[in-house]
């Protein structure tokens, strides 16, 4: 990962207690629905009716942030959420050279699925700030 941009640095300074609480409150719940939304976030709905989203909230000015996956999210409906881990990933080629990618591995009792969080920017910005939020 390159130098963190201002959006990421401000997020880090502000802490992540709300994000930690949102995610830990969802661990152990059964996934009733799972989708990658038009807002480029991963949305969970749980069997108890609660909802959570995971998204990259480090956006600042001239960046384009989005999530993708090659995994079939429907395979994880009915699974219990066990945890998640962020891992470094190689940069990906694009029309301007390359952009940053970071993996988010979501652990369930049916296995792991991987989200790739992309950050396209002009080199001045960078980094990731994956956050969990109750919906």
pTM higher than 0.95 for the full model?
no
Domain total of the chain:
1
What's the pLDDT band for 10 if we cut at 50, 70, 90?
A: very low
What's the pLDDT band for 11 if we cut at 50, 70, 90?
A: very low
120 vs 84, which has greater pLDDT?
Answer: 84
| pLDDT given at position 43 | 97
Average pLDDT over residues 53-78: 84
Q: Residue 53 falls within a domain, yes or no?
A: yes
Q: Residue 1 falls within a domain, yes or no?
A: no
Q: Residue 88 falls within a domain, yes or no?
A: yes
Q: Residue 58 falls within a domain, yes or no?
A: yes
Q: What range defines the domain where residue 40 resides?
A: 6-134
- E strands, the chain, are 31-36, 42-46, 51-56, 64-68, 81-88, 92-94, 97-108, 111-120, 130-134
Q: Residue 30 falls within a domain, yes or no?
A: yes
pLDDT in tens, 96-108: 777 788 899 999 9
The angle at the Cα of 29, spanning 8 to 131, to the nearest 5 degrees, equals: 5
């Amino acid at each position: 990962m390159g130098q963190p941009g201002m959006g990421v640095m401000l997020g880090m300074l502000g802490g992540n207690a709300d994000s930690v609480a949102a995610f830990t409150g969802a661990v152990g719940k059964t996934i009733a629905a799972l989708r990658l939304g038009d807002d480029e976030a991963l949305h969970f709905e749980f069997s108890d009716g609660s909802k959570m989203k995971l998204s990259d909230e480090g956006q600042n000015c001239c960046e384009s942030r989005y999530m993708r996956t090659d995994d079939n999210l429907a395979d994880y409906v009915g699974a219990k959420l066990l945890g998640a881990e962020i891992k470094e990933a190689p940069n990906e080629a694009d029309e301007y050279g390359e952009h940053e990618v970071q993996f988010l591995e979501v652990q369930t009792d049916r296995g792991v699925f991987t989200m790739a969080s992309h950050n396209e920017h002009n080199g001045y910005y960078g980094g990731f700030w994956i956050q969990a939020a109750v919906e």
